[in-house]
Amino acid sequence: MGNKDEQEFQDIFNKIGKYFNNEDYDKALEEIKNALKIYPERYELWIGKGEIESALGNYNQAIEDFSKAIELNSTGVRAYKSRGNLYYDQGNYDKAIDDFNRVIELDNNNAESYFNRGLASYILENYDKAIEDYSKAIELDSNYARGYSNRGNAYYKLKDYNKAIDDFNRAIELDNNYSLVYNNLGNVYADLQNYDKAIENYSKAIELDNNFAQAYFNRGNACYGLKDYNKAIDDFNRAIELDNNDASAYFSRAGAYNKLKLYDKAILDCSKAIELDKNFKEAYVGLSEIYTNLNQPEKAEEYLQKAIELGYKPEEE
């Protein structure tokens, strides 16, 4: 391609880019399809088309386009990275890892690529591998707050609480507006039954994000751990207000009502939890306990048997 032809290509490519940057994706797609009729072997156009299709929600087509770009240029990092991200978003984690492997082969100094591969390994519950990748991302970028945060999550899954706490604290040092990290740090302290410290961190998460339903739910459970059932109910109320389809929040609130001997409310909440999740065996156990407290052994046994049918084993308690 001569200089003139190359300039014409760049002009067309830049025009498409302007449409894309202005979020006029339909026009960008129309223009890039026309360009591909003229330049079908230009891998840059296939990458561009993949990004446009992805922006339009046409993910399978986007994957096909990135694959075509890879076919034309097997050493281009961007197409592997974009396709890997789409595979990840679609839940195809093994294929995502394959693409991230290739990205790392081509550019082993990119912290984000190790981080992305770590995300996929984490989802597959390969926590040691995830830690290895997050650690490499941190090695390449010592200020990578998400790297510390996610490595902390992996350590938490492995019950290596001290390392999890260290990583969450480092993430907070780097970004003290990171509400999710405060919530996750609270989870560590809750597991350690240090409920005061857990509540402190959940409260900070809520201070940063007043609509953080999970943080209210978690703080409610910590208050329950301290036997402060009224405060627990307040937090469960807020969690339900923010997400009224969370069966666990109704079940936990039922537990607090049960402790306060507000049995009618406890029954309503357990029933709501079951309505939202027909296989919520713990909610059936909860109803069994409530009816035992109400001295209604037949109903208690009925709900206990239902829980057992769903896989509950009495020795789980």
- Give me the pLDDT at residue 52, please: 97
Quick one: 299 exposed, middle or buried, by C-beta within 10 A (0-12, 13-18, 19+)? middle
Greatest pairwise CA separation for the chain in angstroms: 90
Q: What does the alpha-carbon distance between residue 293 and residue 296 come to, in Å, rounded to a whole number?
A: 8
Per-10-residue mean pLDDT for the chain, 317 residues long? 77 93 96 95 96 97 97 95 96 97 94 96 98 98 96 98 98 95 98 98 98 98 98 98 98 98 98 98 97 96 96 77
Structure tokens at 253: 């609130």
For position 314, what pLDDT does the model report? 85
What local confidence, expressed as pLDDT, does residue 316 receive?
56
The predicted pLDDT at position 317 comes to 52
According to DSSP, residue 314 is labeled G
Give the containing element (helix H, strand E) for 104: helix 93-106
Exposure string of 104-122, with b = 16+ CB inside 10 Å and e = fewer, is beeeeebbbbbbbbbbbbb
Fold classified for 177-244 = 1.25.40
pLDDT at 41: 95
Write down the pTM of the prediction: 0.88
Which among 166, 107, 179, 99 has a CA at the least distance from the CA of 136? 107
Instruction: Check: CB of residue 185 under 8 Å from CB of residue 201.
Output: yes
Q: Where are the domains of the chain?
A: 177-244
Q: How many residues does the chain have?
A: 317
